[in-house]
Amino acid sequence: MARARNSILILASGSPRRLALLEQIGIVPDHISPADIDETPERKERPSAYAMRLAREKADVAVNRARAMLNQRDAYVLAADTVVAVGRRIMPKAESFDVAQACLKSLSGRNHTVLTAVVVHGPRGRVRERLVETRVKMKRLSDREIADYLASGEWDGKAGGYAIQGRAAAFVTQIVGSYSAVVGLPLYETAQLLSGMGYVSSGDLMSEEVPA
């Protein structure tokens, strides 16, 4: 039986981490379409609702752009957003040294939650989404450890002011849930969403047996 043609996938993110994670499982987006949206939390917005809202808005921007600029109406669009929270308090993305320092001091010696929302738009207006919650425990950080980490610059633009795939891995004592979700994209859930909606990558086609 003939297999469907490979699908067009648009990643609504400019994050090199998310791109690398997708490539890790053999999925290479055809287009990268970062969505520039207002990421200000709404008043009294819960972290889970905030992550989900941002992922949906990013997906919507990329879908509209794909239709208007790429003439792609049947493409798959993948969007995600990662939020770090202490209780119900949403930690900011560290855009400055002072914000990163405040984040690390808040997370030091405490448990926190990393919530990553994934939204996939498929052909014929289909939409599927998942919210993945991971519990992370960080050791108590000394002033020297915080200063050295800040000097590394790894905190720049990171939710909660740290990147678990970098030097901050030495700070994390326990993870309950998806490691890849903390990096930026839960791979199992993302793969299930895409395959469940009929996405076929070029790698899937190459793995098919060719009849003699």
- The residue among 202 and 192 whose pLDDT is bigger is 192
Q: How confident is the model at residue 36 (pLDDT cuts 50, 70, 90)?
A: confident
Q: Provide the pLDDT confidence category of residue 5 given band limits of 50, 70 and 90.
A: low
In this prediction, residues 132-154 reach a mean pLDDT of: 97
Catalytic status, residue 81: yes
81 alpha carbon, distance to own chain's centre: 5
Instruction: Give me the pLDDT at residue 205, please.
Output: 44
Distances (CA, A) of 203 to 5, 25, 26, 112, 164: 11, 10, 7, 37, 29
CB 84 within 8 A of CB 51: no
Q: Is 81 helix (H, G, I), strand (E, B) or coil?
A: strand
pLDDT digits (tens, 9 = 90+) for 120-139: 999 888 999 999 999 999 99
Tens digit of pLDDT for each residue in 154-184? 999 999 999 999 999 999 999 999 999 999 9
Judge whether residue 210 has pLDDT over 60: no
User: Domains of the chain, with CATH numbers?
Assistant: 9-207 (3.90.950.10)
Which amino acid is residue 13, in one-letter code? S
pLDDT band at 71 (very low <50, low <70, confident <90, very high): low
pLDDT value of position 208: 45
Would the pLDDT of 202 be above 80?
A: no
- Catalytic member of 81, 98, 143, 156: 81
Q: What percent of the chain has pLDDT over 90?
A: 82
pLDDT of residue 93: 93
State the pLDDT at residue 35: 87
Cα torsion 87, 89, 94, 100: sign: negative
Please say whether the beta carbons of 104 and 140 come within 8 A: no
CA distance 211 to 117: 40
